[in-house]
Structure 1
Amino acid sequence: MSETAGSEQALTLRVGRMTYGPDAIARTDDGKAVFVRGAVPGDLVRARVTREQPTYSNAVLEEVLEASPERVSTAPCPFVDVCGGCPWAHLSREAQLRSKRDNVVDSLVRIGHMPQEEADGLVRPCSDPGDPWGYRNKVELAFQAQGRRSVIGMHDVTGDRVVKVDRCPLLQRGFEKVTKSVSGALSYLSNSRSLQIDRVGVRASRRTRQVEVALWTQTGGFPRAQAAKILREATGATSVVRVLTKGPQKARKVSGLEKLGGYGSWEERVGSESMLLSAPSFFQVNTRGAEELVRLVMEGLDPAEDECAMDLYSGAGTFTLPLARRCDWVDAVESYGPAVRDLRRNLERTGLDNVDPVGGDADLEFPDADADVIVVDPPRAGLAAGVVQKLSAQPARAIAYVSCDPATLARDLARFAEEGTFSPVWVTPVDLFPQTFHVETVTLLQRVRR
């Protein structure tokens, strides 16, 4: 059903399911797909079309005519309808977990060309590490200069504006208001100094009680001492750093790291491991979720003390450290310079000397030695075709594939199937990102018996 007001079309729709994205999907009477921002499965809504394409439309929710039983009417954050950080906040916890599993299955079928029955049998229920709010150890704030003033906050749902927020309920409990303190400190500083800041990273740990504020800026002059003093006084930060970048805005690269005050790094505990991380290094934003990933990987591989392991895309050592404690030897490869340095520092701190940390591309620096068990944790782009071929040539008995994107996971599992050496045994989605559509997965592949 539709009605037209001026140039905009309003539709009355019954919503079907969530997409792998911020929108829910509905269909018009003639079967055309409509992606509705703000709706949840089961809703009857009036939605305004914002973009019309031949095969689909985009729309935004204007009114809920009949609320779904899966709709959460009030969320802990007052900014959920304007901030882009929690697009699934109106969806119940149980429905989020089901939808994330469904999206993984859908990717395996649609992109990996896996039979529906096989995909359904392969994908386990979505694991829930807990803490649907207050789970993030890191948030990033946008910085927008407006003359001599500045706005520090979150990107809105369109990504075009910055919304000033006084707290972020996703940030670790006890630190929710650090965002307001950072915003106030930088607003005060910008009244007297011109600040060229790209973004601000805040890391906080309930376990170590450490807070780091990282200012991402281009190279050039900067009020280092004043920024460190004001930020530490306002937030109680144990570390204030400046991450120097260069290059075009959409493709800037890290060129250096300056310690402005405090430790110059951030410490977190993952299980029994203590890890130091520099601001540019990747680390899972959900610490309890990271522990669940480690548990699934280690239980799936069950490494023995006489075995050799390989850890590709190792980062700062989330999987390298527990592998090194269980295995005779670990070859670890990581391409990102700051993460390689953090990995080496973490190995030195723990006294583990049975790891060879190599900096470089996983395809170019693929270890010469054979492995018994392998962990791969690639970025969103997934595995390069050459890496899949090299892995398939390994004599390993099992591979644990940690993925942050169901689409590239599905593509890569299809590539493994073509090689014919390893086959998936199970895929476990893990909800590291409640209130969003993102989902992590751990896939166990075992050698095909011939």
Structure 2
Amino acid sequence: MAKYKRRRRYSGPDITGHVDLNPGDQFQTTLSEINDSGDTTSQIRGAPVEVSGGLPGEKVIVEVQKRFPERIVAKVVEVLEQAEERVEPECKYFLTCSGCQWQHASYDYQLRLKQARVQREINKYQSLLHAVVDTTIGSEAQLGYRNHGRFTVGKKDDDGQIGYVNAVTRHFVKIDQCLLMNEPINKTIDLAQGNVAGQTQMAIRAGSNTDSMLIQPRMDLSHRGLVTGEQHYEEEVRGFRFRVAASSFFQVNTIQLSRAIDEVRDLLELDGTEVMVDAYCGVGVFTVLLAPYVQKIVGIEESASAIQDAELNSKDILNIEFIEGKTEHILNTLNKHIDVLLLDPPRVGCHPDVLDSVVKLKPEKVLMISCEPEAMARDLNLLCSTGIYNLETIRPVDMFPQTRHVETISMLRIQG
């Protein structure tokens, strides 16, 4: 489950002020490692530089985009000596919109980078040093995989235009299409482009396996053949149809979600006798699709809209129960033995009270699905450092090709 995580605000000394560089200035440099933001690193006269569009070891010419007190941000404008992993980006907006970090890197290399990122986080903790991160499971589609797009609507001269805002420069970038989005979303952008004046944001969700669509907010696009403001859309996974409210979370890569479900089922080795809890269950995808393999499964979710979706999505399945509330409030009150616990927390990770409840309840198997390696490693350490749990498997799954983001499945088993 995703949830936006803000970059920490810097409050230290100004370590770039001595460098006379401004946006638009260019300089030559050799690039070092890739950081957790997906950018390569360098320096100029002792000042740290973060460079988008580069790969380690490359000699490049970069253009300054912005100077912050703690770092200078730049992008590659010319490659003088390129790395063997470099490929030609397919998107004309690459490095302009800033949504993709790695379109210039071969896909095999992207998968290795994601594995290494997870391993770096794991290696920070003594209790996890024995763990070796598995090879990242690649996505069948590296473009056109997203079923959900959030777009900015321009102002003033760009009023009514659909696009993105560059994360560094904050400049608006009008787009004709986004190569990460599925075909229905790009068709909708084409139809709505220039016709959404007065709005500030626009969201489009389109089923990858259905013809269902949701466009928010409500506006009059009937002259373009578009219906807006609907409250739900539907997606199909593994032959099951799921209703998803506008305010409910759903994984953006439907094909890879199906693969992740297979990985979870295989790792848990369910025999049909287990009582299972699916915490942070959302609209009930894992709950519904794992129900045939357990005796009973309980889903916990704080979003009222998601619980309503989940109950509808599971209406004919008798061994499912849903409880509305925060996992940190509900888990510790469950008056039943739990054999298996699935944790799929937001990007910030598990609330400390959730981890305390895990230690108290001691389910035999705990499987964690995380979209933020730093938070995941922290939570795994808190469970393993008790001596109660052993981390058996860490398996990255690439839900987000062309970007630095990675989903990770971790399997823990109670010791003894």
Question: TM over 0.5, yes or no?
Answer: yes
Once the two structures are TM-superposed, the CA of residue 174 in structure 1 deviates from its matched residue by 5.6
Matches within 5 A, 1:109-188: 109-110=123-124, 112-113=125-126, 118-119=130-131, 121=132, 123-146=133-156, 149-158=159-168, 160-173=170-183, 175-186=185-196
Once the two structures are TM-superposed, the CA of residue 93 in structure 1 deviates from its matched residue by 0.6
Once the two structures are TM-superposed, the CA of residue 15 in structure 1 deviates from its matched residue by 2.1
Q: 1:290 aligned to 2:305? A: no
Q: Aligned to 2:321, what secondary structure does the other structure show?
A: strand
Q: Deviations over 1:201-244 (max 9, x none)?
A: 111224212222121xxxxxxxx6x615245x0x4x5xx32xxx
Partner of 2:81: 66
The TM-score with structure 1 as length reference comes to 0.81
Q: 1:89 aligned to 2:103? A: yes
Structure with bigger RCO (C-alpha 8 Å, 6+ apart): 2
Matches within 5 A, 1:263-412: 264-348=231-315, 351-366=316-331, 367-412=334-379
Q: d(CA) in 2 for partners of 1:5 and 1:407?
A: 32
Q: d(CA) in 2 for partners of 1:33 and 1:444?
A: 37
User: Does the Cα contact within 8 Å between 1:154 and 1:162 map onto a contact in 2?
Assistant: yes
Q: Deviations over 1:171-210 (max 9, x none)?
A: 1146533212122432xxx3xxxx3x34211112242122
1:270 maps to a residue whose letter is: V
Match of 2:114 among 86, 90, 100: 100
Once the two structures are TM-superposed, the CA of residue 92 in structure 1 deviates from its matched residue by 1.2
User: Does the Cα contact within 8 Å between 1:167 and 1:178 map onto a contact in 2?
Assistant: no
Q: d(CA) in 1 for partners of 2:208 and 2:374?
A: 33
Q: Aligned to 1:177, what secondary structure does the other structure show?
A: helix
Whose strand proportion is higher, 1 or 2? 1
Once the two structures are TM-superposed, the CA of residue 101 in structure 1 deviates from its matched residue by 0.6
Q: d(CA) in 2 for partners of 1:177 and 1:158?
A: 28
Partner of 1:43: 58
Q: Deviations over 1:399-427 (max 9, x none)?
A: 11000000000110110122222121011
Q: 1:207 aligned to 2:209? A: yes
Q: d(CA) in 1 for partners of 2:138 and 2:92?
A: 24
Q: Residue 27 and residue 295 in structure 1: after superposition, are their counterparts in 2 closer, same or farther (change >3 A)?
A: farther
Q: Aligned to 1:407, what secondary structure does the other structure show?
A: helix
Identity of aligned residues (%): 26
Q: Residue 148 and residue 403 in structure 1: after superposition, are their counterparts in 2 closer, same or farther (change >3 A)?
A: closer
Partner of 1:227: 220
Aligned residues: 394
2:322 maps to a residue whose letter is: P
Once the two structures are TM-superposed, the CA of residue 70 in structure 1 deviates from its matched residue by 1.2
Partner of 1:441: 408
2:296 maps to a residue whose letter is: W
Once the two structures are TM-superposed, the CA of residue 11 in structure 1 deviates from its matched residue by 4.9
Q: d(CA) in 2 for partners of 1:359 and 1:376?
A: 16
RMSD: 2.5
Q: d(CA) in 2 for partners of 1:306 and 1:169?
A: 44
User: Does the Cα contact within 8 Å between 1:127 and 1:430 map onto a contact in 2?
Assistant: yes
Once the two structures are TM-superposed, the CA of residue 161 in structure 1 deviates from its matched residue by 2.6
Once the two structures are TM-superposed, the CA of residue 162 in structure 1 deviates from its matched residue by 2.3
Q: d(CA) in 1 for partners of 2:147 and 2:78?
A: 34
1:428 maps to a residue whose letter is: R
Q: d(CA) in 2 for partners of 1:148 and 1:420?
A: 58
Partner of 2:12: none
Q: Residue 393 and residue 115 in structure 1: after superposition, are their counterparts in 2 closer, same or farther (change >3 A)?
A: closer
The TM-score with structure 2 as length reference comes to 0.87
User: Does the Cα contact within 8 Å between 1:168 and 1:177 map onto a contact in 2?
Assistant: no
Q: Aligned to 1:202, what secondary structure does the other structure show?
A: strand
Q: Deviations over 1:48-69 (max 9, x none)?
A: 5543656x65433343221211
Partner of 1:18: 34
Q: Residue 376 and residue 153 in structure 1: after superposition, are their counterparts in 2 closer, same or farther (change >3 A)?
A: same
User: Does the Cα contact within 8 Å between 2:87 and 2:106 map onto a contact in 1?
Assistant: yes
Q: Residue 389 and residue 419 in structure 1: after superposition, are their counterparts in 2 closer, same or farther (change >3 A)?
A: farther
User: Does the Cα contact within 8 Å between 2:393 and 2:411 map onto a contact in 1?
Assistant: yes
Q: Deviations over 1:142-181 (max 9, x none)?
A: 1233289433212224262321111111111465332121
Q: d(CA) in 2 for partners of 1:338 and 1:151?
A: 30
Q: d(CA) in 2 for partners of 1:87 and 1:71?
A: 13
Q: Deviations over 1:344-391 (max 9, x none)?
A: 11112xx01222211111011113322111111000010111111111
Q: Deviations over 1:92-111 (max 9, x none)?
A: 1111111011111111123x
User: Does the Cα contact within 8 Å between 2:185 and 2:205 map onto a contact in 1?
Assistant: no
Partner of 1:255: none
